[in-house]
Amino acid sequence: MRILVTGSTGQLGTALLSQLRDCNYQVKITSRRKPESMEDFNWVYSDLLSGEGLDEAVKDVDVIIHAATSPTKKSEAIELTGFGNFLSKAQHIQHFIYPSIVGIEDIPFKYYRLKYEAERLLKNSNIPYTIARATQFHSFVENLLLSKPLFNRYVIPGKVKFQSVDVGEYAGYLTDLVNKGPQGKAGDFCGPEILTLKEMAELKIKINNEKNNVLSIPLAGKLYSSLIEGKNTNSMEKIGEITFEEYLRSKLID
């Protein structure tokens, strides 16, 4: 089996490369920057915005795991126009695996709307696919919302909820899909517990023995309300086993 992993320098891409390092597949990887440790893989430069390198990337490939994304910069041009162009070059692919995000149709956030439209583009193509949605990664929540205390305080919208998941476990789930073949829309891949952001911040303070404390603030708007309601979670699906607490403890050992 010949696999292409896009977005090989990203959070998910890096975890996928760890999973695929000792596999029997022939693995090609692509991104704009060269990943640091890529000895086992054939790296090809490609850019979803300009289209450069995409033909070379999809050539002689059976399965694509598409982990390239751009949530903030030129997101519409990359998530939709660039993605549509990529699909047009991938007509020969036997299985296109598209990582997506739980609850995107119910959360009013531009990047999520683009991902939902991209799911539709893939469904309407003739390419056999799996759409594999996950909840936010532990590392994503920590780096985005809990990395910068202000005067010893995490000033956060403490009531918003996450069911965060370990990116390595999700990468394992995606690589298992290669053997399973196209599933259409797969079940949501979610973390083992739903926590408020305040609870996550308190865990971080306890485990790292920090002097910081938490100031929880309300925010206005539908995005905030949807995250308080937990639209980004799915309590019926708890597949990941590594908790946010275990993720934080594992970082102390590393």
- Which of 18, 25, 26, 32 is the binder for ligand NAP (CB under 6 A)? 32
CB of 124 to ligand NAP, least distance (A): 18
Sketch the per residue contact string, 224 through 253, with ligand NAP: x for CB under 6 A, - otherwise: ------------------------------
Query: Toward ligand NAP, which CB reaches closer, 13 or 240?
Result: 13
Query: Toward ligand NAP, which CB reaches closer, 63 or 151?
Result: 63
Rounded to an integer, what distance in angstroms lies between the CA atom of residue 248 and that of residue 34?
28
Q: Which residue of this chain has its Cβ atom nearest to ligand NAP in the complex?
A: 10
**Residue 72 neighbours by CB distance under 10 Å:** 7
- Give the Cα-Cα-Cα angle 208, 211, 216 (nearest 5 degrees): 95
- Candidates 4-12, 88-96, 208-216, 236-244: pick the segment binding ligand NAP (CB under 6 A): 4-12
CB of 209 to ligand NAP, least distance (A): 26
Q: What is the DSSP string of 162-188?
A: E--B-HHHHHHHHHHHHHH---EEPPP
Binding to ligand NAP in span 131-190, by CB under 6 A = 134, 136-137, 140
Binding to ligand NAP in span 46-75, by CB under 6 A = 46-49, 67-70
CB of 240 to ligand NAP, least distance (A): 11
Query: Toward ligand NAP, which CB reaches closer, 34 or 180?
Result: 34
Element housing 133 (H / E): strand 129-134
Query: Toward ligand NAP, which CB reaches closer, 48 or 178?
Result: 48
Phi, psi of 234 (to 5 degrees): -150, 95
CB 99, CB 134: distance < 8 Å: yes
CB 146, CB 156: distance < 8 Å: yes
Please tell me whether residue 103 binds ligand NAP under the rule CB under 6 A.
no
Pairing of strands 153-156, 213-216: parallel
If DSSP states are collapsed to H, E and C, what string results for 190-252? CCCCCEEHHHHHHHHHHHCCCCCEEEECCCCCHHHHHHHCCCCCCCCCCCCCCCHHHHHHHHH
Enter the tokens of residue 61.
């490939």
- Candidates 44-52, 176-184, 196-204, 214-222: pick the segment binding ligand NAP (CB under 6 A): 44-52
Query: Toward ligand NAP, which CB reaches closer, 215 or 242?
Result: 242
Rounded to an integer, what distance in angstroms lies between the CA atom of residue 153 and that of residue 50?
42
| Chain positions contacting ligand NAP, by CB under 6 A | 7-13, 31-33, 46-49, 67-70, 78, 99, 101, 115, 134, 136-137, 140
